[in-house]
Structure 1
Amino acid sequence: MKGTHYPTGRRRSGPGRLLGLVVALIAAIGLTSTTAFAAPAHKDASAPLSPKALSPMSAVAAMQPSWNLGNSLDAIPDETSWGNPAVTKPLLDTIKAQGFRSVRLPVTWSGHQSATAPYTIDATWMNRVKQVVDWAQADGLYVVLNVHHDSWQWISSMPTDHDNVLARFKATWTQIAAKFRDSSQTLLFESNNEPQFNNTTDAQGIQYNDELNTAFHTIVRQSGGNNATRLLVLPTLHTNSGQTFLDALSSEMKSLNDPNLVVTVHYYGYYPFSVNVAGGTRFDATSQQDMTDNFNRLRATFTSKGIPVYLGEYGLLAYPDSNHPSRVERGEAFKYFEQFGYEARAAGVTTALWDPGTFAYLSRSTLQWTDPELINRIRSSWTTRSGTASSDQVFLAKSSAITAQTLTLNPNGLTFRGLWQGSTQLAQGRDYNVSGNQLTLTASALTRLAGNRAYGTNATIEARFSAGLAWPIRVITYDRPALSNATGTTGGLTIPTQYRGDQLATMESTYADGTNAGNTDWTPYQEFNGAFSPDYPNNALTLTPDYLNALRDGAPVTLTFHFWSGATVTYHVTKSGSSVTGTVG
């Protein structure tokens, strides 16, 4: 992930092999299939047939779904430096048991390699990488092995240190290729993670990326053994899926004239939504179209022509993050992952979830998912659609009488079956009504669900559809949040805040003349957790040093805090030297 650029924007015998060929044919003629990645029958799931027995399209399809062993062998300076324990065989066993068919293994080589010729990689490190690859392959997992943070540590200097960077890159892949030349062809090599080059235009960057990809291809192919026909994964510049970058890689692949090549890009969503900035609080029509366009480009440029695509990283930037309040609302994240799985299946693209371990999906210590509901939704998206709704929240103001509330259902091609609270089905006509895709919860049902009307979630019901997972709907009691006056420094301002059952969506920040105020000066809506962050357990709201230090001295700033209930609260902040004051009103 790390430094992701925002675009302008799997081995079976018998019937299984036939299914793989059908999948490849479907992709080649540009049709879509929601079952293309369904697991084919196989007598021994732990021993996949060599990719030599499959077309490249079928082999990459057999890798779906995929998972990233992030922030481990790519950590700097060493494997445990970023908070994860050392990788173990049981970790790979868990990934296999959880239904993943491949693992992307990011590796940073620079801290274990001489920085001068002959650029020797430490044998202990090389053997450690080999050990992890062998563990994964023993579990019947495909493995994608790459050169990872080296991309920005030293490869990015290629424009000003061309010959040395090229020599080191060639030496690196010469050693990796030699070590793994006899490994099963369920091992794939990936040239370079998120290629980037200092102080270059896109056109210049594309040329450097082409040069490295070509050097990588030549070295691996000439190393012999299984490397002569091993599937090689080539990235676009920045692993960006904009059409310019896809066309450039397509052109290079034609010039290489090698059928055993795989395209890779990354996708973290429409940037404002992915990080919650510029008002991007919802997975709205703009975010949805960005995703659809991304997969349409991949299909039109590659998979419809029989060229496999391995989307090497996906997710939402900084979500989930157990160390900070969630910047993406839970229901909106559910909708993102639901559509992502559908679009990938329709485009015939294999996808690899980026998992940094410590802060996100799978705990490397307990080997348990930190958020089982979230991973279940991601897993469900691999095979089927699920219905959603305009929100997973219904807010009821405690200070007002309860009235009927309406949500819009998004069946996603399914049929709405009704509402349940646990095992109890709610009664249509009494508890809710449906008109088209408009779902209205009655005042009487909401009164019962709200109970004693304590602030926060009073009850959770779920909308069920004819397939997929049910959509959760939380009934929440709230009142307009209240902020208090505060003083602090540019090292941070803590504002006492009574949330009263509500949660913060975004913060708008402007000067008196209407211009944008803050460290994200291209929009009035500042970045969640970047400029401001709620502290719900301690009834506080924090303005960060980055935000405060970006304010003009002595210029009053008006803040408008937007909450998920729809409530807004206005607040004023003024910086004077290193002092900061905040006032209500």
Structure 2
Amino acid sequence: MVAGALAVLLPAGVMTAVNAQAAAGCRVAYTVTSQWPGGFTADVGVTNLGDPINGWRLAWTFPSGQQVTQPWNSTITSSGAQVTAVNVSWNAAIATNATVSFGFNGSWSGANTAPSTFTLNGVTCTGNVGSPSPSVSPSRSPSASPSASPSRSPSPSPSASPSRSPSPSPSPSPSPSPSPSPSASPQPGDAMARVAAMQPGWNLGNTFDAIPDETSWGNPPTTQAMLHYVRSQGYNSIRIPITWSNHHGPAPDYTLDAAWLSRVRQVVDWSLAEGFYVMINLHHDSWQWINGYPGDRTTVMNRYNALWRQLAGTFRDYSQKLVFESINEPQFTGTSGDGESDQVLNELNTAFVRLVRASGGGNATRLLVLPTLYTSSEQARLDALTGTFNQLHDPNLAATVHFYGWWPFSANIAGGTRYDSNVESDLVGGFDRVYNTFVSRGIPVIIGEWALLAYDYTRPGIIERGEFLKYIEAVGYNARIRKLTTMLWDAGSFLERNELRWRDQGIYEMMKASWTMRSGTASSDQVYLPRSGTITARSLTLNLNGTSFQGLRQGGTNLASGTDYTVSGNTLTLTASALTRLAGNRAYGVNATIEARFFQGAPWQIGIITSDTPTQAAATGTTSSFSIPTQFRGDQLATMEAKYADGSPAGPANWTTFKEFWATFQPDYTANTIILKPEFFAEVNDGRVTLTFHFWSGTKITYYITKSGANVTGSTT
């Protein structure tokens, strides 16, 4: 995957010095340290051969159309093939015969020819110290900033509430590729570069955070082969959540269990050997005992310090690719509210940083990651953490928040079945806020966990696949243009760890594409056709996302433009003749799968599905066991509404008629039933309730239940 390094040495050059009439000259070394299909990493060294300068601007032209996707140690802007790198605050000065270095990840297609000419502060490099010339003071070009952070909107959700904001201002651009981290690793003091090199990241979830042990929550023991596989799939960092609460001795020493620590250390060693950046933390300790800190400061702080003191000592001389995160999702009991909880978290975060720094060795400059309260991206939480950063004045810190999307969509409640403007606004708003609060000030941000709350391979159907793919594409793009490093939360729903394969290869391909480019999507990934009668043409709206439509394919066969489909603007229309052919014998369910292909990114799969209106039958049961006989007839359930006779919401979450998928109802396609859960009936009044079932074909059917104490009857009329 990594090609041989390409080095170009430009032995000298003339540059314009900051001071008028100063001698100028430079040498530029451009090295491609790693290369893979579509991407590469480059290091650039600029040696000043003339008088000292303070403020530099290096420019070049890419001869093969390459693009810089993520820089470190400089600010890089591009206009077509023209590229300009400008110093950052800490490397503006270059003494005579001193060298400043920066690097970047880039993308390429066809060829990756190295640039042949560089200019420094406007003068072409030629190889010698030039004669005096007037100065040209370079001004730093600000990078494109995402749109202003939006105001918060109220939501009935218990999580961070949805927000509204305009679309971000930066135009789409590629981001770091799924490559090994740069061989010229970012140095301590350059936290932005180190966090950039961690993109993308993956969580070893529900493993060492499981209670009480590694395999207690259903995942197999972690192996070197598994770590190697994840690394081979393009992930550059791994977060290892660890719960320590039942793996240490009593006060006052709280001695870590030797076997548990040894096992953790083994997996850290394996991960570092694979080339990962590795992040470890105190995980479920946050709600098991750290949350009691406000009521028992001495005991909790002693325990907290004892654990981090031992961990700091154990890993003191480890590689700088090992990263410490203080606490996962901090939360507290016994405070007057979030304001006081912010203050409490500040005490723990600052104690953590000072303790680790005092342990010396590699810990003196190790990257330390500090969370907001709840790892929330609400502005008040970000502002509180900003105060901690200002207090510590430590250049080797990063901030972390978590992102699980707009809650109704993430849980499929309140009708949140689709990736819509609400989901988009929440995503853009949260990412804008962390960019504007931290990244724009040079403080890196790690999205330490991201996914959707209800995406779970053991509970299929809660999140529709195509809507999830749109969300994945948007998360990748919006994080990339804001220089946020993302770490996928994978508790077993993405990687099948026993077989070392992705449970859904298409979902992985969309994630992988989002690291470097945008992908096209469509209004739906399903086309429903009737079981009988005439099939007519069907249309979908293409979401091009900056790319262009290339064509349709079924397996290895291209569909014919004009005969099988037409495209008008962003409207893709499948012809009646093509759909008739693809539907075959029109058996219920998916008859064929075709792919919309674009000039970049992942393809968009479209299922051709035969269905008829589902039918239901009368039923009797109890509040602890009630199922509605349902013939799905090729259709899939999207959501369920529940209303009393007066139209008010029935059941849990009484602020919405749309109930939470799986928590209150669940389809069973094998048994041909829809199960109403005891949790639903626990909050339903006696009497008649009208249920409306919404299906992905667009069909809605109505069913009626009557509850009397513990008894329930159901009917279609």
Q: Report the TM range for the smaller structure's normalisation.
A: over 0.9
Q: Is 1:192–2:327 an aligned residue pair?
A: yes
Q: Is 1:16–2:42 an aligned residue pair?
A: yes
Please report how far the alpha carbon of residue 54 of structure 1 lies from its aligned counterpart in structure 2 after TM superposition.
7.0
Please report how far the alpha carbon of residue 402 of structure 1 lies from its aligned counterpart in structure 2 after TM superposition.
1.6
Map 1:241-320 onto structure 2 (within 5 A). Answer: 241-319=377-455
Amino acid at match of 1:284: D
Residue number in structure 2 paired with 1:3: none
Please report how far the alpha carbon of residue 163 of structure 1 lies from its aligned counterpart in structure 2 after TM superposition.
2.0
* Cα separation, partners in 2 of 1:326 and 1:506, compared to 1, 3 Å: same
**Residues in 2 aligned to 1:511 and 1:12: alpha-carbon distance in whole angstroms:** 67
Q: Is 1:25–2:160 an aligned residue pair?
A: no
Amino acid at match of 1:346: I
Structure 1 residues 131-152: Cα deviation after superposition (integer angstroms, max 9, x where no partner): 1111111111110010000000
Does structure 2 retain, via aligned residues, the 8 Å contact 1:12–1:49? no
Does structure 2 retain, via aligned residues, the 8 Å contact 1:243–1:297? yes
| Aligned pair partner of 1:230 in 344, 361, 366 | 366
Q: Is 1:450–2:450 an aligned residue pair?
A: no
3-state SS of 1:113 partner: coil
Please report how far the alpha carbon of residue 582 of structure 1 lies from its aligned counterpart in structure 2 after TM superposition.
1.4
Please report how far the alpha carbon of residue 400 of structure 1 lies from its aligned counterpart in structure 2 after TM superposition.
4.2
Please report how far the alpha carbon of residue 49 of structure 1 lies from its aligned counterpart in structure 2 after TM superposition.
4.6
Higher relative contact order (CA 8 A, sep 6+): 1
Q: Is 1:215–2:351 an aligned residue pair?
A: yes
Amino acid at match of 1:563: F
* Percent sequence identity over aligned pairs: 54
Q: Is 1:492–2:625 an aligned residue pair?
A: yes
| Aligned pair partner of 2:523 in 390, 394, 408 | 390
Q: Is 1:427–2:560 an aligned residue pair?
A: yes
Higher strand share: 2
3-state SS of 1:171 partner: helix
Please report how far the alpha carbon of residue 427 of structure 1 lies from its aligned counterpart in structure 2 after TM superposition.
2.5
**Residues in 1 aligned to 2:246 and 2:599: alpha-carbon distance in whole angstroms:** 52
| Aligned pair partner of 1:560 in 679, 692, 695 | 692
* Cα separation, partners in 2 of 1:198 and 1:54, compared to 1, 3 Å: closer
| Aligned pair partner of 2:264 in 106, 121, 129 | 129
Q: Is 1:582–2:714 an aligned residue pair?
A: yes
Amino acid at match of 1:311: I
* Cα separation, partners in 2 of 1:505 and 1:244, compared to 1, 3 Å: same
**What TM-score, normalized to structure 2?**
0.76
3-state SS of 1:156 partner: helix
Amino acid at match of 1:515: S
* Cα separation, partners in 2 of 1:12 and 1:348, compared to 1, 3 Å: farther
Aligned alpha-carbon RMSD (Å): 2.0
Q: Which moved more, 1:20-29 or 1:73-82?
A: 20-29
Q: Which moved more, 1:528-537 or 1:442-451?
A: 442-451
Residue number in structure 2 paired with 1:183: 318
Residue number in structure 1 paired with 2:118: none
Map 1:12-91 onto structure 2 (within 5 A). Answer: 16-18=42-44, 21-22=71-72, 25-26=75-76, 29-31=142-144, 34-38=173-177, 45=180, 48-52=183-187, 55-91=190-226
Please report how far the alpha carbon of residue 520 of structure 1 lies from its aligned counterpart in structure 2 after TM superposition.
2.0
Please report how far the alpha carbon of residue 127 of structure 1 lies from its aligned counterpart in structure 2 after TM superposition.
1.6
3-state SS of 2:75 partner: helix
Does structure 2 retain, via aligned residues, the 8 Å contact 1:143–1:187? yes
**Residues in 2 aligned to 1:17 and 1:251: alpha-carbon distance in whole angstroms:** 35
In structure 1, runs of 5+ residues without a counterpart are: 1-10
Amino acid at match of 2:195: V
Structure 1 residues 165-191: Cα deviation after superposition (integer angstroms, max 9, x where no partner): 122111111111111111111100000
**Residues in 1 aligned to 2:294 and 2:580: alpha-carbon distance in whole angstroms:** 66
Amino acid at match of 2:174: T
Residue number in structure 2 paired with 1:413: 546
Residue number in structure 2 paired with 1:202: 338
* Cα separation, partners in 2 of 1:228 and 1:13, compared to 1, 3 Å: farther
* Cα separation, partners in 2 of 1:97 and 1:39, compared to 1, 3 Å: closer
Please report how far the alpha carbon of residue 199 of structure 1 lies from its aligned counterpart in structure 2 after TM superposition.
4.6
Please report how far the alpha carbon of residue 408 of structure 1 lies from its aligned counterpart in structure 2 after TM superposition.
0.6
**Residues in 1 aligned to 2:216 and 2:369: alpha-carbon distance in whole angstroms:** 27
**Residues in 2 aligned to 1:457 and 1:63: alpha-carbon distance in whole angstroms:** 40
Residue number in structure 2 paired with 1:535: 668
Please report how far the alpha carbon of residue 23 of structure 1 lies from its aligned counterpart in structure 2 after TM superposition.
6.9
**Residues in 1 aligned to 2:449 and 2:608: alpha-carbon distance in whole angstroms:** 35
Does structure 2 retain, via aligned residues, the 8 Å contact 1:76–1:82? yes
Does structure 2 retain, via aligned residues, the 8 Å contact 1:342–1:382? yes
Does structure 1 retain, via aligned residues, the 8 Å contact 2:189–2:396? no
Does structure 2 retain, via aligned residues, the 8 Å contact 1:325–1:533? no
Residue number in structure 2 paired with 1:4: none
Residue number in structure 2 paired with 1:338: 473
| Aligned pair partner of 2:232 in 67, 75, 97 | 97
Higher helix share: 1
Does structure 1 retain, via aligned residues, the 8 Å contact 2:548–2:599? yes
* Cα separation, partners in 2 of 1:322 and 1:377, compared to 1, 3 Å: same
Query: Number of paired residues?
Result: 567
Structure 1 residues 274-324: Cα deviation after superposition (integer angstroms, max 9, x where no partner): 1100000000111111111121112211122221111110011131x2322
**Residues in 2 aligned to 1:474 and 1:259: alpha-carbon distance in whole angstroms:** 51
3-state SS of 2:349 partner: helix
**Residues in 1 aligned to 2:441 and 2:541: alpha-carbon distance in whole angstroms:** 38
Please report how far the alpha carbon of residue 77 of structure 1 lies from its aligned counterpart in structure 2 after TM superposition.
0.7
Q: Which moved more, 1:503-512 or 1:411-420?
A: 411-420
* Cα separation, partners in 2 of 1:51 and 1:128, compared to 1, 3 Å: farther
Please report how far the alpha carbon of residue 16 of structure 1 lies from its aligned counterpart in structure 2 after TM superposition.
3.2
Does structure 2 retain, via aligned residues, the 8 Å contact 1:47–1:140? no
**Residues in 2 aligned to 1:314 and 1:393: alpha-carbon distance in whole angstroms:** 26
**Residues in 2 aligned to 1:217 and 1:53: alpha-carbon distance in whole angstroms:** 15
Amino acid at match of 2:695: F
3-state SS of 1:379 partner: helix
* Cα separation, partners in 2 of 1:39 and 1:83, compared to 1, 3 Å: closer
**Residues in 2 aligned to 1:50 and 1:116: alpha-carbon distance in whole angstroms:** 40
Please report how far the alpha carbon of residue 512 of structure 1 lies from its aligned counterpart in structure 2 after TM superposition.
0.8
Q: Is 1:371–2:371 an aligned residue pair?
A: no
Does structure 1 retain, via aligned residues, the 8 Å contact 2:33–2:182? no
Residue number in structure 1 paired with 2:376: 240
Please report how far the alpha carbon of residue 572 of structure 1 lies from its aligned counterpart in structure 2 after TM superposition.
1.0
* Cα separation, partners in 2 of 1:51 and 1:340, compared to 1, 3 Å: same
Please report how far the alpha carbon of residue 17 of structure 1 lies from its aligned counterpart in structure 2 after TM superposition.
3.8
Residue number in structure 2 paired with 1:509: 642
| Aligned pair partner of 1:483 in 616, 637, 643 | 616
**Residues in 2 aligned to 1:527 and 1:30: alpha-carbon distance in whole angstroms:** 42
Q: Is 1:155–2:290 an aligned residue pair?
A: yes
Please report how far the alpha carbon of residue 450 of structure 1 lies from its aligned counterpart in structure 2 after TM superposition.
1.5
Does structure 1 retain, via aligned residues, the 8 Å contact 2:690–2:703? yes
* Cα separation, partners in 2 of 1:249 and 1:54, compared to 1, 3 Å: closer
Please report how far the alpha carbon of residue 335 of structure 1 lies from its aligned counterpart in structure 2 after TM superposition.
0.5
Structure 1 residues 374-396: Cα deviation after superposition (integer angstroms, max 9, x where no partner): 11211111111110000001111
3-state SS of 1:99 partner: coil
